[in-house]
Structure formats: structure tokens, C-alpha cells
Structure 1
């Protein structure tokens, strides 16, 4: 049985958010009151690498929150109401559904090619009603959807939620006993309905001009990204990577930069830093061990690169345990 994170009470305070959201969560400025939100907020893992977050809350005070490390993945987002300002690595997420009677549902598929820093600002008295479904790279691969959509980091693809999707979102916002296996199956079914609606619309469009690559070339580059994400290429040079992909090294590097706006080894360096950060947060490894995971022989050089990438030193991530 998956652990379900769910509030039994209608009022949500800072302690609840810190315990439920996890390591790296922060409230940079002290709120005006201890009770922050009124309503329902929960997140849970479903089968096969699906993640679900449901929010139906009213902000009881002006609130700024931050999260130091949001995992990479594809996020299918449907917002029924709300205009909280969300930034990912400083870039504004364009997803304003309006407030009150003027609210209009909006939806997007968001690509996170690597973890990002999440910040959110909201105003007292406003309501937020939304569902976020996270698709892990493994889930995307097994579903046959990997590489089917443009995968540029922080790229957004807007789509129009159908009435069936809106009904599914309403059901997810009222899940009942989320620990009941039958309820969880129903939740998974609603998620699949929403995912199917989003991808059916988006796959009917032509996206080749977004990155300028032929579909076969783009799928190969996505396959390369999964290889880099897996850690299997950590000790390979460019020749070894090209052999793994069955492609000329120069062409591979050119296509990768064209699709993801960075070099292969810049991306690999980032992913190894992110795996080191995850080991610090999740497993509490030493900074020296984290440096080894990231491929650094010098702990000082590792700390410098880590701070440049995440904006915080490695010891900050360990101190959150």
C-alpha cells in the first residue's frame, strides 16, 4: 500500500506543510497567522510512477512558499480556479485561471528536464482548485509516450480540458478514503482519463518546428537523455556515448543542444549534481560521498558547483534531514 499524505482537518498550518511536502520546503517570510490554508491538500503516489497532488484551499493570509528541489518529470496540470504566482527557477508559470465567478479552467503539460526551484506567492482570501499529475520518465517510457512531445526544459503546452476531464478533476478533489484500494483505483482511472485527454489533443498537433528535429531524431535524443538520467553514461566519454546511441558523435551533440539548449556533458554534470542532492536529502550521505556521486574528486570544487546549481551549499540539504 502506498503511503497517502492527506490532512484530516480543514485548517492547514505551517507544521502540516513542512511534514507533508518534505525536505527542502520553506516559508521565507513569517505569515501573519499560524493557520495558513482552509480546505484540502494532499499528495500521493499511484502505481507505476504516477504522482498526484490535489489542492482545494482558501488562503487565510498572504503566503510565500519555496521548495528547493522539485523532481524532474512531465506534469499534467488542470487548474479550475486560482491566480497564485508560481515561478520555476525564476520563470513565471503561465497558469492563471482567475478567481471567483470569473474563474475559467486552464490546463497545461509542463516539462521539467531537471529539478528546479519552486516559489509560490498567494493573496489572502483567494481560492486555489487544481490537480497536478506527475509522470515519471519510467512511466512515460512504459506508456510509449517518451519523446512524443517537445521536451524543452520548462516548456509548456496548453490544452483545453474536456467536460469529462473537468468532471474527473472534481472527483479527485473529493476522493473519499484515499487509503481504500478501490478508491485508489478510481483515482488512478481519473488520472488516466485526464492524461489521455491532454495527450490526445497535443499529439494531434505538429511540434517538429519547436526544436527543428525530425521525429526520429528527436526520439533518439530523448532516448539519450534517459541514458544520461539513468547513470549508465557517467563513466563514458563522447565516443562511448555515441556508440551506445549508434550515431555520429558530432551529430548527436548538435541534436542534443538543439533540443535541450545545453551540451550533453553540461546536462550529465547537472544530473549527477541532482543525484548527489537527492542522496543528501533522502539518504543523509556525507558531503564527501555526495561529491563522489557527482563525479568530483575535490570536495571544495563540488561545493562550489553545487551552490552555483542549487543556490545553497550541500550542508543545507543535509541539515534538512
Structure 2
């Protein structure tokens, strides 16, 4: 299926842009699949916005604002989904519903079941790297009643009623999908196919994450679920100097046994396992992108013995850390 270029020949207003789902990069002007630098009175940078299937549009932007403005936007019934890969925490005022907060590396879903208006400030010098998609009712219509027991039904719920918002837990898989919207090497028809595939992967992953999150909330309650998310954010904020399980439990206000049980139920691993895996991922970056040796990378991520680090690394990645150094130098 050929992608439809959504840029009117006469240009776009801010409202036009947000109707295309650029809720996470307000004021930017969509570009073609091939990268193209833009320079406007409002921003510099670029944005991808293409309809890959009826009712499904993928968006990706990398823009820096050059002026201060409050943009008031009218939007039709739509489900907006986006993740901010780089940028600062921002607030958007949904008229009649108050303010909603969007944070870096968190997936935000904003469902508008009826035409509405919202206002977002932009500040000169702020840079935002974002990616996501938006869904129109036409996307769900093709499935008919088949959505009844499917994860997509959970997404469809967000475009019923008036305004609804969900903020999902940080997901490494979704962050990778979002980055691929920016970093893929494809052009032409191959690029179009890739964007369609990536957008569908994004939708499926978000649907499954939202479905799983609601199942966990039903199992343990929203407050306990939020404590688990808070615990992981504390761990991820400083993977080198992580608190003990007892210290972590005290910080989030729950006993150690409950935290350990709920953490494994939500993330499928123990607190120790999560920290170890994240440190190994950090080590891979140090080896491939910063050229550190095995012993130094092991020390930086908290392993006291290089041999223990190498064994854990091989078990997790299926290759030795030394081979990663060679790959990094070869690249």
C-alpha cells in the first residue's frame, strides 16, 4: 500500500498539524520519508507524518522551537499515542478537563472521543525528539466485532466518551520501536513498507502493554501497581548505586515481601535480576560506543570480577563482551 503524503501544498497551520497526531511535536511540518531539514519562524527540524493504513498514521519528529507561544488546537475524534525520546516534562491543558503531564520515555495515550480543544506551550530553545502514531475510528471499524476479546479493544475504549488519558510504564521495546521511526536506513517503497510494519508493531505493543497493565491493576490494585513502577524508576535512575531491597521498599512505602512479589509479577523478573540486566545493557553501550575494555566496563557497572561479568554477559547476550569490542571498532 502506498503511503499518503499528508502535507497540503499550501502548507499547514498548527491546528492542521495536531490533527495529524503531532501532539508531541506541536507546530512542526511533516516531511517525506526521505529526511529533509526545515527552518520555520516557529521551529527548526523535521517531522514524519504518513498514513500507513486507513485510520493509522505514524509520526516522528526532531524539532527545536525558536519562539515562545501558546498553541490552541482543535482536534477531531482520535487516539494519540507518543513517546518523547528527548525533551523535558511538559503540560498540556485540555479545555474543560484540566492539565495533563507528559514525561520523557513514557508512553502517553490521549483519547478524544468527540471534537475538543487543547492548549500547549512551546518555549524557545526546547528540543523534542518524539515518535508515535494516531488512530482514527476508521482503523477500528474494519475489525467489526472481532475486537471484543482482543488487546485492540482496550485502545478502542480510549476513543469513546469525551477525553481519556493513560500513561504507560517505561518500555524498552517501545522505545526501540520509536527510535526506529527516526533511525531506519530505508527509502522509497522499502521505506514505506518498513514504516507500515513499524507502526503496526507499535500499535500491537501498546495494546498488549495496556492490556497487561490493566490485568496487573485488577490483580494487585492501582496503588500497589504504581508502587512497583515507582520502584523500577528509582532503580533505573541510578543503576550503579542502587538501593537495597529494604531501602527501596521503604522509599515506596511497602514491605519487602510485597514489593518483591509484585515486582516479579509485573516485570517477570526479580529486583536483582532487573538491576543485573540493566547493568549488562549499560555495559554493552560502554563496550560498543565508548570503547571501554572488558575489565573497565565490568567495574563501571558494578561487577567486582571481570570473569563473573563475562559469564553473565555471555548468558544474557549470547556472545562474549570481548567480541562486542571488536564489533564496535569495526563499525
Give the TM-score, by structure 1 length.
Answer: 0.43
